[in-house]
Structure 1
Amino acid sequence: MDVSIQTASREHLTGIHELVLQWGYQASEHETLEWLDALNNSANNQLFVALSGDLVVGWAAVEKRITLGTGHIAEITGLVVRAGFRRSGVGKVLVSAAEQWSRALELPRVVVRSNVTRAEAHQFYPSMGFELTKTTNVYEKDLSNPADATSPSA
């Protein structure tokens, strides 16, 4: 399959948004545009698109992160390939683009987290040389409703 990798731009918005929905997330195209602009304006983020002709067939987001436990690393924060194009090498070229970006920033390693429900990803990442190093639970708190705000007990 002939696929080219480019840095994502606003001209790719419709295809990126379609893949956000295929990835299983609910977002409006307007929200996707806001997030795309924020990623493109950040020195610590890069969004790559895989194109087959003019069709966006995949994208990968990678972020330069720092924590007190790991120092600087790269993290692939999202990777999705369009249905009908999976298992054709698109994911591999997107991961390679993320790795090249990370190497250019002299980051020592790339981390990726994958939901336990994404069985194909748990085969894909080890095939790309990633090693499972831990499992984790993710806790989330919605801060959009002030009535749900809690304050620490005194």
Structure 2
Amino acid sequence: MSVALDSSGVNIRPATTQDVEAIAILSHQLGYPVSTIAIEQRLYQILSDSNHIIYVATGLDDRAIAWIHAYTYHSLLTDFHAEIGGLVVAPSDRGTGIGRKLLHQVESWAKIRRCQSILVRSNIVRSAAHHFYQKCGYSRVKTSLVFHKVLLHDDL
């Protein structure tokens, strides 16, 4: 199942349900406190959808030290493209090239699916992430606001 192994011992592979705990911990570090149970439920659904991919970077112990999630996206307004739903590298492993390797893996995945481009959204306060994406060849195309509404479901 291994996708790429480099001389530093970093392995890039598709995520599995055995990565749930590590993905949850890394998500907290990104600023998204998500329970392990929620990650497990979401991962189960995502892994069964061929329009999505999650890769993890692992160390020699095969424990995830970084992850990236991407999915293909159809829109009336844009060409067929992929969007990165999240990318996080453990703080102790940042600046080592792991994020770039994960991006390259997703770019290859998107090309195989004939995507025209890749979109990534980044919070305006994450200046280090903006610099990272620009160094990886991504261009800033707009600044926008995000609106959110919680939907309440009636028990019928």
TM-score normalised by the chain length of structure 2:
0.90
The residue number in structure 1 matching 2:49 is 42
1:77 equivalent to 2:85? Answer: yes
The residue number in structure 1 matching 2:10 is 3
1:111-130 → structure 2 map (5 Å cutoff) = 111-130=119-138
Deviations 1:6-38 (A, max 9, x none): 000011111111111111112110000011111
1:29 equivalent to 2:36? Answer: yes
Q: Secondary structure at the match of 1:63?
A: strand
The residue number in structure 2 matching 1:151 is none
Q: Which runs of 5+ in 1 are unaligned?
A: 147-154
The Cα RMSD (Å) is: 1.1
The one-letter code matched in structure 2 to 1:78 is: G
Calculate percent identity across the aligned residue pairs. 31
1:98 equivalent to 2:93? Answer: no
Q: Secondary structure at the match of 1:144?
A: coil
* Runs of 4+ more than 3 Å apart: none
Output the CA distance in 2 between the equivalents of 1:35 and 1:142: 18
Paired residues in the alignment total: 146
Choose from 40, 56, 59 the match for 1:52: 59
1:136 equivalent to 2:140? Answer: no
The residue number in structure 2 matching 1:16 is 23
Deviations 1:95-132 (A, max 9, x none): 00110100110111111010011111110001000011
| Contact 2:79/2:116 (<8 A) preserved | no
Output the CA distance in 2 between the equivalents of 1:37 and 1:90: 25
Q: Which runs of 5+ in 2 are unaligned?
A: 1-7
Q: CA deviation at 1:142?
A: 1.0
Q: CA deviation at 1:145?
A: 6.7
Choose from 87, 90, 97 the match for 1:89: 97
Q: Secondary structure at the match of 2:119?
A: strand
Q: CA deviation at 1:55?
A: 2.2
